[in-house]
């Protein structure tokens, strides 16, 4: 997959270390929360996290990136908070993220996540919906259990608002599939809800838990939202040009579903020769064949490929720091934000 400059070795090392530390911080809380669930919800939820196989036997599968909880921890640190104080908020963010993943797999009919069959393909869509709902409930319980006494109400409200925005963004993403035209503005509004809102919430909860003032909490929210849009842009590139061995999903899967990702929106809005050919593929009624997907990919490549989207993602991530007070633009946040713009899965 084409990529921009990968940044300094120090930034890459810092981001990797933070992701590993966030995973170690939240894993015991996640496991304890899932262990409180009645069967078979405990097995189905643990399967989604990679802890069990479909029979409930202990398994060891690669976990998710833990980017959102890492942002929560880094935001708290930038505001003077300690990792232990923000562990429950970070865990709640990860639970909420996984609620969205389980439901998203159903909506998109994705059969594979992290190289394994998705929950709905193993137990059916109704059970997968219940798993997602359970993760939603666990997120609220875990957040309230660990929030400082003076921050419980605002933390819960921010989490709830993020869920509503996330659902709005997912609705727009689905609605785009029946539209004949989607503008760049439409796309950015969708991605702000689908991805930006939760990353903004993750950063705001870190600041809130650390006792930051209202202006700083709001600045952290704005920072996370900008990073979230950058993340979604890179995700769109990975959905078309990503390596299946790294992503765990078939190459071109977003094109096969005729999703209105940023590279597609950019080209279709360009008025170019490639736009006309791509529009015909997107407006056809029959399912995309492998040959159609390959043809669409060639058209996107001819119109500039991944580079314009990656460049715009890097701009959005760089602009995120304009939201922050000078004292809170920590090296940890910089490293994580840079990781968002320069990843391959």
The whole-number pLDDT of residue 327 equals 59
Could you tell me if 30 and 36 are in contact, meaning their C-beta atoms sit under 8 angstroms apart? Answer: no
Structural domain contains residue 1: no
Cut 0.85: pTM above it: yes
Q: Report the SS3 class of residue 45.
A: helix
- Residue 333: burial class (beta carbons within 10 Å; 0-12, 13-18, 19+): buried
Could you give the CA distance from residue 90 to residue 66 in angstroms, rounded to a whole number?
Answer: 9
Structural domain contains residue 109: yes
Of the candidates 105, 67, 114, which has an alpha carbon nearest to the alpha carbon of residue 245? 114
The whole-number pLDDT of residue 7 equals 55
Residue 279 structure tokens: 């529009």
Structural domain contains residue 296: yes
Contact residues for 232 (Cβ-Cβ < 8 A; gap 6+): 191, 194, 195, 196, 262
Could you give the CA distance from residue 127 to residue 211 in angstroms, rounded to a whole number?
Answer: 39
Could you tell me if 68 and 198 are in contact, meaning their C-beta atoms sit under 8 angstroms apart? Answer: yes
CATH classification of the domain holding 239: 1.10.600.10
Structural domain contains residue 4: no
Structural domain contains residue 313: yes
Question: What values do phi and psi take at 112, rounded to 5?
Answer: -130, 135
Structural domain contains residue 3: no
How many CB atoms lie under 10 A from the CB of residue 53? Answer: 15
Q: Report the SS3 class of residue 52.
A: strand
Could you tell me if 139 and 95 are in contact, meaning their C-beta atoms sit under 8 angstroms apart? Answer: yes
Could you give the CA distance from residue 155 to residue 204 in angstroms, rounded to a whole number?
Answer: 9
Could you give the CA distance from residue 19 to residue 73 in angstroms, rounded to a whole number?
Answer: 10
Structural domain contains residue 95: yes
Please report which residue ranges of 79-213 form alpha helices under DSSP H: 83-108, 119-123, 125-146, 152-176, 184-191, 197-209
Residue 69 structure tokens: 């909880």
Angle between helices 290-302 and 273-283 (to 10 degrees): 160
Could you tell me if 300 and 278 are in contact, meaning their C-beta atoms sit under 8 angstroms apart? Answer: yes
Could you give the CA distance from residue 135 to residue 41 in angstroms, rounded to a whole number?
Answer: 10
pLDDT in tens, the chain (345 residues): 544 444 567 788 899 999 999 999 999 999 999 999 999 999 999 999 999 999 999 998 888 899 999 999 999 999 999 999 999 999 999 999 999 999 999 998 989 888 899 999 999 999 999 999 999 999 999 999 999 999 999 999 999 999 999 999 999 999 998 888 899 999 999 999 999 999 999 999 999 999 999 999 999 999 999 999 999 999 999 989 988 877 767 778 889 989 999 999 999 999 999 999 999 999 998 999 999 999 999 999 999 999 999 999 999 998 888 888 765 668 899 999 988 888 877
Domain span at residue 271 reads 9-341
Structural domain contains residue 113: yes
Query: How many domains does one find in the chain?
Result: 1
């Amino acid at each position: 997959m084409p990529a921009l400059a990968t940044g300094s070795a120090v930034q890459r090392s810092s981001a990797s270390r933070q992701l590993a530390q966030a995973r170690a911080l939240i894993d015991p809380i996640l496991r304890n929360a899932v262990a409180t669930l009645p069967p078979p919800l405990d097995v189905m939820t643990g399967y989604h996290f990679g802890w069990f196989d479909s029979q409930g036997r202990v398994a060891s599968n690669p976990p998710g990136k833990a980017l959102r909880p890492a942002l929560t921890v880094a935001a708290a640190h930038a505001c003077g908070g300690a990792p232990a104080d923000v562990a429950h908020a970070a865990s709640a963010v990860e639970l909420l993220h996984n609620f969205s993943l389980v439901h998203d797999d159903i909506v998109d009919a994705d059969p594979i996540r992290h190289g394994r069959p998705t929950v709905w393909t193993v137990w059916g869509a109704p059970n997968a919906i219940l798993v997602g709902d359970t993760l939603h409930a666990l997120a609220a319980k875990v957040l309230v259990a660990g929030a400082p006494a003076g921050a419980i109400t605002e933390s819960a409200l921010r989490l709830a608002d993020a869920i509503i925005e996330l659902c709005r963004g997912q609705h727009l993403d689905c609605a785009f599939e029946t539209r004949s035209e989607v503008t760049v503005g439409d796309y950015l509004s969708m991605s702000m809800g689908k991805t930006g809102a939760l990353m903004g919430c993750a950063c705001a909860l870190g600041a809130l838990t650390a006792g930051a003032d209202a202006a700083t909490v709001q600045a952290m929210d704005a920072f996370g939202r900008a990073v979230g849009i950058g993340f979604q842009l890179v995700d769109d590139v990975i959905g078309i040009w990503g390596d299946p061995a790294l992503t765990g999903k078939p190459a071109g899967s977003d094109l096969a579903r005729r999703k209105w990702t940023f590279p597609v929106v950019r080209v279709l809005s360009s008025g170019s020769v490639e736009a006309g050919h791509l529009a015909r593929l997107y407006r056809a009624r029959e399912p995309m064949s492998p040959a159609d997907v390959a043809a669409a990919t060639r058209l996107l490549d001819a119109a500039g490929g991944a580079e314009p989207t990656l460049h715009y993602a890097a701009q959005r991530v760089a602009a995120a720091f304009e939201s922050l007070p000078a004292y809170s633009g920590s090296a940890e946040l910089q490293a994580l934000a840079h990781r968002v713009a320069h990843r391959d899965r």
